[in-house]
Structure formats: C-alpha cells, structure tokens
Amino acid sequence: MIDLRSDTVTRPTPAMRAAMADAEVGDDVYGEDPTVRALEDKVAGLFGGRHAGLFTPTGVMANQIAVRLLVAPGEELVLDADAHIVAHEDGAAAWHGGVQTRTTLSPRGLLRPDDVARLIRAGDQYTVGTKAIAVEQTHNRGGGSVYPLEQLRAVRELADAADVAVHCDGARIWHAHIATGTPFAEYGALFDTMAVCLSKGLGAPAGSVVLIPAERMPEARRMRHRMGGAMRQAGILAAGGLYALDRHIGRLAEDHAHARLIADRLTEDGLDVVEPETNLVLVRLPESGPAAVEVAARCREAGVLVSAFGPRLIRMVTHMDVDVSACAKAAEVLAGAAR
C-alpha cells in the first residue's frame, strides 16, 4: 500500500529504533529522564532559547496546554475557523478549559491582520475579552500553506498593541522552515507559546514539545499531569525525536518536491489542485465525478491510500516512507479514480 493519508503514518527507521533502544532513561514525572530533558532543551534552543520545552505524548496535548496557559475559562481565543485547534481536537479547548473561540475564515487558513484587528476585543461587562490569538504554521486544512514572516509579524504587532498573547500550532513548522529558509529562531521570537510535532514529517513514533515561558513550567507540568500525559521512562520516545531533529529536517525538501510532482501530474490531467507549498496536496474534485469517499475507496482498491478531507476534497500527504516512484503511481491512480 502507498499510504498518503497523512505524514503521521511514518515508521521509525532501523537507525532511529537503535537510538531509541540505547536511550538513557529515568522517571520523567520525577524530572529524572535525561533523554526527555535533552529533547526539551534542544527544541527550546532551536527556537532561540526564549522558551522552556515540555514533552507531551501528542500534538493535541501540546496545543491544549498552551491554550490553557494563555486563556482562562470564559475567556477568548481568536483563530482561523479551519485551525486544527478548533476543527480537529474534538472540542478540547471547550472541554478542558471552557475556552471560547472566535473564528474567521481566512484564505488558506492564514489569518489576515485586518481580520485579527476586527476580531480582538477588550472585553467589558457584556463581552468576553480576547486573551490569545493562535496561528497554524504550516496550515493543515489550508493545504500545507505557509505564513510569510511579514504576516506573522503584523499579527504579533496587533497582539502586542492589545496586550494579547500569540500561540503557534507549529506541528509542521519544520516544513515552513524548509520551504522559506526562515531560521527557527525567527519563529521562536514571535510567539509566547508554540507546539511542535515530532511524529509527523520528522518520523518519530510519537511525541510533541510545547514551548512556554520558563516561569509557567510548574503550571504546565500540572496540566500535563491532569490530562494524563505525564509519562515515566519516556526517554525511549524522546530519543526518537532527538534522532529525527538531527537527521530528518533537511530531507523534508524531498517531500515537498514529491508533493509538487503529484500536483503537476494531477493538474496536467485537468484536476483542480490547490497549489502545494509544502508536503500537502489538496484536490478539489469536479462536481460531475464521484464524491471524495468513493474516490478514496477506488484508490484503496488500486493500492493507494488518500484521505477524503471533505465531501469533494481529497488530501494527500507526502512523507519519508513514500519515494518518488510511489508518488508518481499515486498520482496516476488518483487521476483515474477521480473521473
């Protein structure tokens, strides 16, 4: 099977497994796992050293810890209507934290500064006040779209003027760095909190890191504990993340080239493809043809797995476990299945 449903399907390489097997471990609830510590420090350092890192089992938990640190129950978070935090986390912000979200539809999921300015509110006797803005870099439902640095800076300026915090859901921020060359520290300088994922394009089996101000760490550790995410000898997992950070970032350029190849092939075939910027390809199916679930089922029959991402929308995600010939074949199969 050629699996393009998500970059989460990547499996640890033999060398990564060896690094995991060799990891020095301890009880991380006691703060005694040296490999977890090394990972948390490495990620914090990579993004400029302004934050402290906390290892979490999932990206959802990393996002939710950040949201809870920035926004109290009954307060407001402003974000794009298709953001992972509001569209793919099962209502977690409301469930865990009573957080009200205020959303706006944005081109390819990237918040426009004018919209942000319109949405932020100070709050009064009747109106809940905005406490944080969340951006997603790269944007999943936007098709792996990348915020230009200038747009992020404009959002940051508006937030500063209103005394509002900014969180970055950077599950795929690695891809933004590869696509634009923007140093990680430039991103780190812009956000109060960030969530970055090790188990997607980077290929580790599990884990994310949430970056937060160091003085909030005791609160963040308690939140992680309450959510059931305080793990013991988690260094086994963290070692996979460390290995991936050292060896799997540069190679993401290949995944971007493969996404481009798929998109070009489908465009040649007359399909409506959202311009890929990183490793995601969105295909808008013609009204005249089969619906997305049917197209996905046909692809599966032919040995290719894709996601039905909407009634007439297909998502394909390139990653380290699919090579160029697999991507070419997948494009061929999808082109046939879509008519």
Ligand X SMILES: *Cc1c(COP(=O)(O)O)cnc(C)c1O
Distances (CA, A) of 213 to 137, 166, 167, 220, 253: 20, 12, 12, 10, 31
Nearer to ligand X, 59 or 188 (CB): 59
Give me the 145-174 binding string for ligand X, x by CB under 6 A, dash otherwise. Answer: ------------------------x-x---
**Which among 53-61, 67-75, 218-226, 257-265 is the span making contact with ligand X, rule CB under 6 A?**
53-61
Q: Which of residues 212-271 bind ligand X (CB under 6 A)?
A: none
The sign of the dihedral angle between the CA atoms of 143, 148, 149, 155 is negative
Instruction: Tell which one of 10, 64, 130, 140 touches ligand X (CB under 6 A).
Output: 140
Please give the residues from 18 up to 37 whose contact with ligand X meets the rule CB under 6 A.
none
Region from 59-67, 96-104, 236-244, 317-325 binding ligand X, contact rule CB under 6 A? 59-67
Instruction: Write each residue from 64 to 93 as x if it is in contact with ligand X (CB under 6 A), else as -, in one continuous string.
Output: --------------------x---------
Stretch that binds ligand X, among 56-64, 120-128, 224-232, 312-320 (CB under 6 A): 56-64
**Which residue, 167 or 258, has its beta carbon nearer to ligand X?**
167
- Pick 10 or 265: Cβ nearer ligand X: 10
Q: Let me know if 87 is exposed, middle or buried by CB neighbors in 10 A (0-12, 13-18, 19+).
A: middle
d(CA 89, CA 77) in angstroms, rounded, equals: 15
For ligand X, which stretch binds (CB under 6 A), given 58-66, 72-80, 111-119, 268-276? 58-66
Alpha helices (H) along the chain: 14-21, 34-46, 59-70, 84-87, 92-97, 113-119, 149-162, 173-180, 184-188, 217-226, 235-247, 252-268, 292-301, 324-337
Taking the CA atoms of 142, 146, 147 and 150 in sequence, report the sign of the dihedral they define: negative
If the CB atoms of residues 58 and 267 are measured against ligand X, the closer one turns out to be: 58
Q: Looking at 46, 52, 60, 86, which residue binds ligand X (CB under 6 A)? A: 60
- Cβ contacts of residue 313 below 8 Å, gap of 6+? 282, 283, 284, 285, 292
Q: Identify whether the C-beta of residue 318 lies closer than 8 Å to the C-beta of residue 331.
A: no
Please pick, from the candidates 28, 33, 80, 136, the single residue that binds ligand X as defined by CB under 6 A: 136
Number of residues in contact with ligand X, rule: CB under 6 A? 11
The nearer residue to ligand X, 227 or 285, going by C-beta atoms, is: 227
- Measure the CA–CA gap between 323 and 103, rounded to whole angstroms: 38
Beta bridge partners of 284: 272, 313
Chain position whose Cβ is nearest to ligand X: 59
Among 58, 104, 151, 307, binds ligand X (CB under 6 A): 58
Question: Two tokens at 78?
Answer: 């402003």
- Applying CB under 6 A, among 10, 103, 130, 208 the residue interacting with ligand X is 208
Question: Where along the sequence are the contacts to ligand X (CB under 6 A)?
Answer: 58-60, 63, 84, 136, 140, 169, 171, 197, 208
